[in-house]
A and B are shown apart, each in its own frame.
Chain A
Amino acid sequence: MTELNEYKGVMIYGEHAHGKIEPVTFELIAKGRQLAKTLGVETIAVVIGNNIDEMANELIYRGADRVIKASFDKLDHFISTSYSNIMAGIIEKYKPEIILAGSTTTGRALFPRVAVKVRTGLTADCTELEIDEKDRKLLQTRPAAGGTIMATIVCPNTRPQMATVRHKVFKEAERDENRKGTIEIFEVNSGMIDAVTVFKQFVKDETQTINLTEADIIVSGGRGLKCPEHFKLIEELANVMGGAVGASRPVIDEGWLPYSHQVGQTGKTVSAKIYVAIGISGAIQHLAGMKSSDTIIAINKDPNAPIFQVADYCIVGDLFQIVPMLTKKLKKI
């Protein structure tokens, strides 16, 4: 068995979609560099795919000391089996002590398989990461039970210590084209490729003009809007603010908006710069999906609504009076 201290370096999984590195990766590079500095080790990024040269350069510009590039012509699309075979090979070769990936649909499909292959721990959806300076272990803190509990998880006896990390919790690493780093090639062979799973097509969600999980500003509506026609108020305010439209679960269950707009435990977890909750009382499940947003503005007629406990700015009153007026005033700014 390999000794734990043979594992060195903080590795970041370079997630990409539609030919570009996903922003969550840049957030992880920034956080990874911080952890690497405490440990006195390198930050290594990994990118797996086809036609990924530019992405490898981008990872250097964003702060990776080294990039491991695994390219192959059959890797045009993410297939969890093929990618996990390659990722396990990379771990075996480079032996990082920590691996961070986004807790996205990709990260959550890929890393549980990788964890089984290399028989190590994986902590899901972390919102805080730090190094225990006493023993160099990674302290991985995450919400559980719909955000009602926070737990700090450790992985003491196996390496790497792996975590998927929530998007938009950490700030993105800045881009600097003058930054230098090395790019190494990891050889992929056809034995690593899943021959039975086929990507056939991607269909974009056309009702989302702005991807909710990427949005800096989100305006969400809840049951307080009373009927689907009133959702126009939410859309108008979102337009003026340049934001995306979200909704609480009852709105989706009633069929006023498609599921892709649902914010909360059973929908999407968002972490916006500004989150506006309108006519949303704030069930624990909704709060779990939005409470890590930087600034939360809540508009509700019930002064005791739980949403006000997580909000920074609370307007108590009738949304049908307030929202149109707010839209109008913001338009003038």
Chain B
Amino acid sequence: MKIIVCIKQTPDTSEMKFDAESKTIIRDGVENIVNPFDLYAVEEALRIKQERPDTVITAITMGPPSAENVLREVMSMGVDDAILITDKAFAASDTLATSYTLATAIKKMGDYDLLMFGKQAIDGDTAQVGPGVAEFLNIPQITFIRKIVEITDTNITAQRAIEDGYEIIETTLPCVLTCIKELNEPRLPSLRGKMKAKKAEIPSWNAEFIGADTEQIGFKGSPTFVKKAFTPSIDKQNMVFSDEDPEKNIDMLIDALKSKKII
């Protein structure tokens, strides 16, 4: 079985903190990491490989040259090889242009059975690239998977998490899967894996090499763009009840809620 895992280098948003005094977000010193949701995709691919030892797992990412680091990181977990898709021409890609670029690179890679993604990236939070790639490649998808029920040589059955439970969906390979946290617990890199990843050759593919249409990549290929970005105001006019007597606090809260007709 051939599995391609699509990963993204993201800033570690959990390291971002509120500065209570200036009411702004502190981004200094925030490191770049493998998008946490992508680790569930990597882990699940590794588990499939344990069941089917002939499996080859390739990780790909589209990003700046520094994104090579996240490819090495997932290789240290056990991913077999990796490809970096990088070109200045990809800059300012929205989800449509990103989906096109990844799909074009994947076509260049040849045959595959599973394309795995995290459910969304923690910086963009869109969840649009996985299904977008599936559509460009004209293959089916199962989004938000919480469990793989069965994989055969031709089919996959998985549980797809929805708002009030889950659905069991079966489809044919190749297909796209997007993974949620409930799926598994990602392993840590092994020492041997780290050594191997350090030495690995990671090819870099540019727009010309993958044969991308210049009209469909980067800023030109992106129908949407950010007109304005701002830090949300988190300064609320709030009421604080901090009397030493807890009962007093509760009574004040209930009175306040009643007077505002909230209860």
Contact = CB atoms under 8 A, between A and B. Distances in A.
Given A84-B135, A124-B126, A153-B226, A196 B172 contact: yes
Contacts of B242: 303, 314-317
B191 interface: no
Nearest to B24: A148
A88 B171 CA distance: 22
Contact of B16 (A143, A148, A194, A273): A148
B48 to A, nearest CB: 20
Interface of A is mostly: mixed
A309 B164 contact: no
Given A77-B167, A150-B232, A202-B166, 8 more contacts: A109-B144, A112-B131, A121-B96, A202-B168, A203-B166, A265-B125, A308-B240, A329-B251
B36 interface: yes
Interface stretch (B61-69, B82-90, B196-204, B255-263): B255-263
20 contacts: A17-B162, A112-B95, A113-B134, A121-B94, A124-B127, A145-B11, A146-B122, A149-B229, A196-B171, A202-B166, A265-B122, A309-B20, A310-B236, A311-B236, A313-B238, A313-B241, A313-B253, A315-B249, A315-B250, A318-B246
Contacts of A197: 140, 169-172
A314 B239 contact: yes
Interface string B163-179: 11111111110000000
A182 interface: no
Interface of B is mostly: mixed
Interface residues of B, number: 84
Of all A-B residue pairs in the complex, the 6 with the closest CB atoms, nearest first, are: A121-B223, A121-B224, A124-B126, A112-B131, A116-B135, A316-B242
B161 A145 contact: no
Most chain A CB atoms below 10 A, which of B94, B144, B166, B232: B232
Interface string A57-70: 00000000000000
A112 B254 CA distance: 45
A252 to B, nearest CB: 8
A84 B144 CA distance: 17
Contacts of B13: 145-146, 148, 265, 284-285
A34 interface: no
Contacts of B55: none
Interface string A128-171: 00000000000100011111111111111110000000000000
Contacts of B171: 196-198
A149 B230 contact: yes
A204 interface: yes
Contacts of B36: 266
B126 A125 contact: yes
A326 interface: yes
Interface of B: 11, 13-14, 16-18, 20, 23, 25, 36-37, 94-96, 99-100, 122-132, 134-136, 140-141, 143-144, 146, 157, 159-172, 180-182, 222-232, 234-236, 238-242, 246-247, 249-251, 253-254, 256-257, 260, 262-263
Contacts of A266: 36-37, 181
A152 B226 contact: yes
A101 B102 CA distance: 25
A124 B239 CA distance: 34
A318 B128 CA distance: 43
Given A115-B96, A313-B257, A284 B17 contact: yes
Contacts of B159: 203
Contact of B246 (A148, A199, A304, A321): A321
Contacts of B127: 108, 112, 124
Contacts of A155: 223-224
Most chain B CB atoms below 10 A, which of A158, A198, A268, A283: A198
A3 interface: no
B250 A326 contact: yes
B132 to A, nearest CB: 4
B208 to A, nearest CB: 22
A117 B164 contact: no
Given A84-B135, A123-B224, A329-B250, A116 B167 contact: no
A322 interface: yes
A81 B140 contact: yes
